[in-house]
């Protein structure tokens, strides 16, 4: 489909250029993975040890936080929800103290809003406290 849209020229890529290259890269990597699986199968001990150390409770919390982020974004707006999401993930990963997590979350949300919202003029959900 991306080929039908328009790939453009070398100096002037069209709207189908990036999806086309992404699709080609996925096909290439899938082919390499298929060859790896067919000719170099993994032993069962490696599979067992790979899944052994995963903390499923944290995985479920990250999925739940991502769903909450998506649902709250149009209601509260980008800055507030992104700040809360990053603070939650920072505390979940036990990176630093609360003060550091809150500062890093605020800076990350603010800088990303400035770059995408102000400088590049991307549209964000307005939410309650839109700047």
The answer to whether residue 130 scores a pLDDT higher than 90 is: no
pTM score: 0.62
Long-range own/partner contacts, residues 61-68 (CB < 8 A, 24 or more apart): 61/92, 62/89, 62/92, 65/89, 65/92
Tokens of 127: 């939410």
Question: Rounded to 10 degrees, what is the CA torsion of 48, 63, 92, 79?
Answer: 150
Q: Which of 3-7, 10-14, 56-60 tops mean pLDDT? A: 56-60
Tokens of 112: 């990303």
Q: What is the pLDDT of residue 17?
A: 83
For 36, residues 6+ apart whose C-beta sits below 8 A from its C-beta are none
Residue 4: pLDDT band with limits 50, 70, 90: confident
Q: CB neighbours (10 Å) of residue 115?
A: 11
Tokens of 52: 């052994």
Check: CB of residue 77 under 8 Å from CB of residue 125: yes
**pLDDT tens sequence across 15-51:** 888 888 899 999 999 999 888 877 877 665 555 666 6
**pLDDT tens sequence across 75-124:** 998 999 999 999 999 998 877 788 999 999 999 999 999 998 888 888 88
b/e per residue, 13-29, with b = 16+ CB within 10 A? eeebbeebeeeeeeeee
Tokens of 15: 């709207």
């Amino acid at each position: 489909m991306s080929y039908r849209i328009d790939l453009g020229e070398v100096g002037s890529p069209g709207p189908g250029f990036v999806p086309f290259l992404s699709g080609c890269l996925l096909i290439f990597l899938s082919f390499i993975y298929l060859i790896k699986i067919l000719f170099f199968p993994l032993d069962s001990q490696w599979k067992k040890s790979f899944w052994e150390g995963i903390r499923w409770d944290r995985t479920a919390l990250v999925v739940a936080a991502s769903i909450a982020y998506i649902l709250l974004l149009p209601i509260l707006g980008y800055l507030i929800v992104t700040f809360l999401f990053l603070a939650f993930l920072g505390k979940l990963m036990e990176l630093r103290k609360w003060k550091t997590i809150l500062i890093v979350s605020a800076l990350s949300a603010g800088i990303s809003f400035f770059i995408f919202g102000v400088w590049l003029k991307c549209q964000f959900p307005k939410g309650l406290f839109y700047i």
